Amino acid sequence: MAVYTKVSAEEIEDFLTRFDVGTLVSAKGIAEGVENSNYLIETTQDRFILTLYEKRVDPNDLPFFITMLDHLADKNCPVPPMISDRVGIKIQKLCGKSACLIKFLPGISVTTPTPLQARATGKALGEMHNALTDFTGKRANSMDHDTWRELATDCGPNELDAIAPGLQVVVDEELDHLDQNWPGELPISVIHADLFPDNVLMLDDQVTGLIDFYFSCTDIRAYDVAVTHAAWCFSEDGEKFDAAVSEALITGYDEIFHLSAEDRAALPVLARGASLRFMLTRAYDWINTPADALVTRKDPMAFLNRLKFYQENPDIFQI
Amino acid sequence: MAVYTKVSAEEIEDFLTRFDVGTLVSAKGIAEGVENSNYLIETTQDRFILTLYEKRVDPNDLPFFITMLDHLADKNCPVPPMISDRVGIKIQKLCGKSACLIKFLPGISVTTPTPLQARATGKALGEMHNALTDFTGKRANSMDHDTWRELATDCGPNELDAIAPGLQVVVDEELDHLDQNWPGELPISVIHADLFPDNVLMLDDQVTGLIDFYFSCTDIRAYDVAVTHAAWCFSEDGEKFDAAVSEALITGYDEIFHLSAEDRAALPVLARGASLRFMLTRAYDWINTPADALVTRKDPMAFLNRLKFYQENPDIFQI
C-alpha cells in the first residue's frame, strides 16, 4: 500500500521505449494492492499500471500469473492484460526489480457493497471459475489449510493472547476442528483466493475489473467462494453480517457456476477456514510490523469476528 | 508522500455531487507532494486531484493559496486551478479535513534536469514573478531567515553533530554569516519558496504545470531564484554542481524577469540561506522521524553539500 521503489520519470520514459505504447505524459506513484510498487502511467496513447514486484511476489510465479490472465482475457473476463514489449516479452526488469506494464482498467472499489454489487461480483467470480475449468496452470497455495498450524506457531507462544486474551485457545480449537472437517473430495481449480472488494473494480453495479491475482493458486474451488463471502458480507470490523449481501453474492455465483450440494455443505467449514487464514496472517503481520511502519497493519480481530459468526451460523449458505 | 486519510470510493462519489464535474470513474490514492492526502480522480468529464489537507497545511492559509492560484491562472501561468462547487465554494470539508478538488495537469517531474528544462523552469519562475507583481495577498514565511537560529536550537544540543561530526559549528558560523550579510533592501514579493523539480510538471522541455504552492509566502523575490537554483542545479546528494543547468536556469529567469545588479550580488548569500534552510528542516525531520516511519526522511547532508559549494563559489551567478 505504498511506493517502495522510486522510479524517476526519466527511467519510466526510457522503460516505455521498449513498448509500442506512445510516450510518457504523466506518472504518479499510487498506493494500491499488495506490497508492490505501482505507478499510474499515462502515455500519448493510453493509460497503464506499471508494477514493480517487491518481496511478497516471487518472480518465478510471474509466468503463472501472466498465463492465467491471458487465459481469462481470452474468455472475456474483465482482467487487466499485461502488455508485451516490441519483441513479445511481458516480464521486464526495472530498477533491479521484476516489472510489468499492465493495462489500466476504469472502475472503483467499493467499501460497503450493496446487494446488487455483491450479486455482480458473485457472477464475475462464477464466470472466472467457468473460464478456468480448462486452464492447465498450477500453483501451490502457500497459505493453504495445511500451513495454518505452523503459521499460528510462528506467531509466538504468547503473542496471540496479547492481541486478545484467550485467542490462542480459540485458534487451537479451530485448527483441530478444521483438521477434522476440512473437505478432501471437493473439486480443485485455480482460484483467485483474495477477492476482497479492493480487488474488484465496478461502475454502476457492473464489474469492470478483477485485479491483484498475486495470491491466485490451485485449491478447492468453493474455498474461493468462502474467501469472497468472508471479504464481502461483513462490516470492515467483522461485527455486522449483511444477510442481503450474502444472499446476493451466493445467488449470483450459483447462477453462473452451480454450487453442488457438496460445495454448499462445505461452505461453513471453508468460510471458517478463510476467516482463520486472514486472522492468522493479519496477526502475524500485526506482531511483526512496527505500529508506525510504511505498511498499514490490518486488525486481526476483524476476522476473529467473522470466524465466530461462521461458527455460530452454519446455516447461512442454505439459501 | 503517502495517503494519510483513507477516503472510500463511496465518500468520493458523494463528495463529487457537490460539483458539476460528472460522476466517478476511477480513484487512486497517490504518493505526492507535501504531507497531504491526494487522490487522482477520474470522472465522466475530466480528471482531478482531490487533496485533503493534513497537519502541515493550516486551513486558515487556504484562502491565500486559492487567491494566489486564481491570480496566476488569470495571467496564464500553468497552475492547477481549484474547482468551485455548485455554489462557488472551493474549500470543502471531507472526512473531517479541509479538502479541495483541483484540476489535473499533465506532465512529469524530472529528476535530472537538462539545461533546456532548467531554462524553461527559469522562464516559468520569471513569468510567475511577473504575474505576482500586482498581487496584493500576503503570507508570512514561517521558514524565513529569522527562524533558522531557533530551528537549529530545536534540533537539540548534540543532534546535529550526531548527523555529521562538526555540523553544529558549521551551522553556528553560517547563521552568523547570514545575520551579518542577509540583504535588507531587496524587492519583496509573494514567492513559491519550494520550486523543486518535483513541483514542476514538464512535457518535451516545456513547463506544463507549477504545483504544490503550500510554502508560498511573502519574502525577498530573489530568494525564490536562490531556492530554485539550489533545488535544480545539483545532483540529488548535492555532490555534483551542473554549471550548464545553472547558467540555463539563471539566463531563462533573467530573460523574463530582469535580475538587477543588487539581486545578482545577493544571490550567493541567498543561496547559502536556502541551503541552510533545507538542511535544517531536513535535519529536524531526520532527528524527529523514526527511520521506518510513513514519511521518507530526506538526507540533510545533500544540502550541507550545496551550502559548502555556495560558500566556496560565490561567483557562479555572475553570468
> What pLDDT digit, counting tens, does each position of B123-138 carry?
999 999 999 999 999 9
Contact criterion met (CB below 8 Å) for A141 and A218: yes
CB contact under 8 A, A108 and B32: no
B105 to chain A, closest Cα gap in Å: 9
Measure A293 CA to nearest chain B CA, in Å.
Answer: 5
A96 φψ region: left (φ > 0), alpha (ψ -120 to 50), beta (else): left
Q: Please report the number of interchain residue pairs, chain A to chain B, with beta-carbon separation below 8 angstroms.
A: 85
Nearest to B9 among A2, A9, A109 (CB): A109
Kindly tell me if the per-residue pLDDT of B295 is higher than 80: no
CA A290 to chain B, closest CA, distance in angstroms equals 8
Q: Which of B32, B108, B289 should one mutate to test binding to chain A, selecting the residue with the greatest count of A CBs within 10 A?
A: B108
Please tell me the predicted confidence (pLDDT) of residue A295: 55
Is the model's pLDDT at B15 over the cut of 60?
Answer: yes
Q: CA–CA separation, A267 vs A122, rounded Å?
A: 15
Return the SS3 of B288.
Answer: helix
Whether residue A125 is predicted with pLDDT greater than 50 in this model: the reply is yes
pLDDT at position B290 is 66
Residue A33 pLDDT greater than 90, yes or no: no
- Minimal-distance CA residue of chain A relative to B12: A108
The answer to whether the Cβ–Cβ distance between A294 and B294 falls below 8 Å is yes
Condensed to tens digits (0 to 9), the pLDDT of residues A39-91 reads: 999 999 999 999 999 888 899 999 999 999 999 999 999 999 899 999 999 99
Is the CB of B10 less than 8 angstroms away from the CB of A294? no
CB atoms B42 and A2 under 8 Å: no
Question: Residue A44 has which C-alpha cell?
Answer: 500519448
For residue range B215-274, what is the model confidence (pLDDT) as tens digits? Answer: 999 999 999 999 999 999 999 999 999 999 999 999 999 999 999 999 999 999 999 999
Contacts of A3 in chain B (CB under 8 A): 31
Residue with cell 473437505: A183
Could you report the per-residue pLDDT of A151-177, keeping only the tens digit for each? 999 998 899 999 899 999 999 999 999
3-state secondary structure (DSSP) of residue A196: coil
Which residue in chain A is spatially nearest to B109 when comparing CA positions?
A9
Which residue does chain A place closest to B112, by CA atoms?
A10
Distance CA B203, CA B207 (A): 7
pLDDT at A286: 86
What pLDDT, on the 0 to 100 scale, is given for residue B95?
A: 95
pLDDT at A292 over 80: no
List residues of chain B with CB under 8 Å from any CB of chain A.
2-3, 8-10, 12-13, 24-32, 40, 42, 106-112, 203, 290, 292-294
Position A184 pLDDT exceeds 50: yes
Residues, chain B: 319
Per-chain mean pLDDT for chain B: 94
Q: Mean pLDDT over residues B104-115, rounded?
A: 96
Report d(CA B37, CA B3) in Å as an integer. 5
pLDDT at A296 over 90: no
Question: What is residue B190's predicted lDDT score, i.e. its pLDDT?
Answer: 98
- Report whether pLDDT(B164) > 50: yes
| Percent of chain A at pLDDT exceeding 90 | 87
Q: CB-hemisphere CA count at 13 Å for A229?
A: 33
pLDDT recorded at residue B206: 97
Per-residue model confidence (pLDDT) at position B292:
56
Chain B residue whose CA is closest to A113: B10
Residue B298 pLDDT: 79
pLDDT at A1: 46
Q: Does the structure show a pLDDT above 70 at A294? A: no
pLDDT at B169 over 60: yes
pLDDT digits (tens, 9 = 90+) for A196-209: 999 999 999 999 99
Strand pairing category for B206-210 and B200-203 = antiparallel
- Residue B56 has a pLDDT of 81
Q: Which residue of B has its CA nearest to A10?
A: B110
Coil, strand, or helix at residue A310?
helix
Determine the pLDDT at residue A297. 65
Is A149 buried (19+), middle (13-18) or exposed (0-12) by CB count in 10 A?
Answer: middle
> Distance (Å, rounded) from C-alpha A10 to C-alpha A4?
18
Band (pLDDT 50/70/90 cuts) for residue A35 is confident
Instruction: Look at residue B294 and tell me whether its pLDDT is greater than 80.
Output: no
- Answer yes or no: do B108 and A9 touch at CB < 8 A: yes
Contact A233, A201 (CB under 8 A): no
Q: What average pLDDT is seen over chain A?
A: 94
* Facing B106 at nearest CB: one of A8, A13, A26: A26
Domains of chain A: 9-103 (3.30.200.20), 115-312 (3.90.1200.10)
CB-based contact B259:B253 (threshold 8 Å): yes
Residue range B116-120: mean pLDDT, rounded: 98
